[in-house]
């Protein structure tokens, strides 16, 4: 098992469109790889390894929310997934931003459900994976 490494991705939401901030995400990935203490031949996943499917909903509190799944298409366990939620106006401009966290580890080849508050009640949101931590390979964490 390798030490923790940063993983980030600019996946889009339900439409599968790429998100913005690829340069920042690549920098986060590079910084995470530099922190690794071992030089194993097993390289952790890079950008695009996690994907999202989601839809807008109403939280139990009555406020706007987004719910869906983080999909892990790698052979590595991933935890501490941080999602960025952007509320968009009709022209695609960002009117509000928020951050949500996925509480459960995402197994290799698996998915984990999430529901996080939306920063505003709008017709369109954009979700991206901001960061995550790779913490193990194979069937168990």
CATH number at residue 106: 2.60.40
pTM, full prediction: 0.68
Q: Is 14 exposed, middle or buried, given 0-12, 13-18 or 19+ CB atoms closer than 10 A?
A: middle
pLDDT per residue as tens, the chain (141 positions) = 444 444 444 444 443 333 333 333 333 334 343 333 333 345 556 657 899 999 999 999 999 999 999 999 999 999 999 999 999 999 999 999 999 999 999 999 999 999 999 999 999 999 999 999 998 887 766
Residue 70, helix vs strand vs coil: strand
Domain that holds residue 14: 5-38+45-136
Classify residue 141: in a domain, yes or no: no
Domain tally, the chain: 1
**Helix ranges, 1-141 (H):** 22-35
Classify residue 97: in a domain, yes or no: yes
């Amino acid at each position: 098992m390798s030490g923790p490494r940063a993983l980030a991705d600019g996946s889009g939401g339900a439409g599968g469109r790429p998100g913005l901030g690829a340069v920042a995400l690549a920098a986060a990935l590079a910084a995470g790889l530099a922190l690794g203490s071992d030089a194993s031949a097993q390289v952790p996943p890079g950008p695009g390894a996690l994907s999202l499917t989601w839809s807008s909903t109403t939280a139990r509190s009555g406020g706007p929310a987004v719910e869906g799944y983080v999909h892990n298409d790698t052979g590595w366990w991933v935890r501490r997934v941080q999602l960025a939620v952007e509320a968009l106006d009709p022209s695609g401009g960002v009117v509000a931003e928020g951050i949500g966290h996925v509480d459960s580890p995402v197994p290799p080849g698996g998915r984990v459900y999430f529901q996080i508050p939306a920063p505003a009640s709008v017709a369109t949101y954009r979700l991206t994976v901001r960061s995550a931590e790779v913490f193990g390979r194979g069937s168990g964490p």
